[in-house]
């Protein structure tokens, strides 16, 4: 489907945020500038607003690899794996240590080989127009029947 504008992206991320719970994984796949961080910022700010928590800045974790957000009963862990080059470095991040139940949003998840269960893969790409993007999704387990018609 086509994302027609930044507002349209917001409405899409809000709908996904409505369905999310701790234990979910959202994989954001697509090249630089397609909107992975913008999606995540909208998503986190929406949850903060919904839960009555102060909205915060949501910066790209390009250098820090991870930023965490405590939103009442939800915990969102926002990863950017762009700088991770080996599966050993990936292991050291401990993304799949399930002692902390949280929502994990992962930009650049290509190196991740673990087939985590409740996973929503979001594919973003450029479109002909500057403010448009293309989006497709592939859900697994809990997200299996989730598709673009729901957005």
Ligand X SMILES: Nc1ncnc2c1ncn2[C@@H]1O[C@H](COP(=O)(O)OP(=O)(O)O)[C@@H](O)[C@H]1O
CB of 108 to ligand X, least distance (A): 9
78 binds ligand X (CB under 6 A): no
- Nearest CB to Mg ion, comparing residues 41 and 99: 41
Is residue 36 at the binding interface for Mg ion, with CB under 5 A as the rule? yes
CB atoms within 10 A of CB 142: 16
Closest CA to 84 of 100, 67, 104, 62: 62
β partners of residue 107: 28, 80
- Closest approach, Cβ 133 to ligand X, in A, equals 4
Backbone torsion region of residue 122, taken as left when φ is above 0, otherwise alpha when ψ lies between -120 and 50, otherwise beta:
beta
Stretch that binds ligand X, among 30-38, 70-78, 93-101, 114-122 (CB under 6 A): 30-38
User: Does 9 engage in binding with ligand X (CB under 6 A)?
Assistant: yes
* Shortest spacing between CB 125 and ligand X, in angstroms: 10
Could you give the C-alpha distances from 141 to 21, 108, 118, 137, in angstroms and in order?
13, 21, 5, 13
Q: Between 7 and 98, whose beta carbon lies closer to ligand X?
A: 7
What residues make contact with Mg ion under the rule CB under 5 A?
36-37, 60, 107
């Amino acid at each position: 489907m086509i994302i027609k504008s930044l507002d349209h992206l917001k409405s899409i991320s809000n709908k996904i945020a409505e369905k999310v719970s701790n234990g979910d994984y959202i994989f954001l796949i697509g090249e630089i500038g397609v909107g992975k961080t913008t999606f995540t910022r909208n998503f986190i700010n929406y949850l903060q607003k919904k839960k009555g928590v102060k909205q915060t800045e949501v910066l790209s974790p390009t250098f820090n690899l991870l930023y965490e957000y405590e939103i009442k009963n939800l915990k969102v862990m926002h990863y950017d794996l762009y700088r991770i080059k080996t599966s050993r470095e990936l292991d050291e991040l401990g993304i799949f240590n399930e002692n902390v139940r949280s929502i994990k949003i992962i930009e650049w998840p290509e190196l991740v080989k673990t087939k985590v269960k409740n996973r929503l893969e979001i594919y973003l790409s450029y479109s002909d127009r500057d403010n448009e993007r293309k989006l497709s999704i592939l859900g697994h387990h809990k997200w299996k029947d989730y598709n673009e018609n729901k957005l």
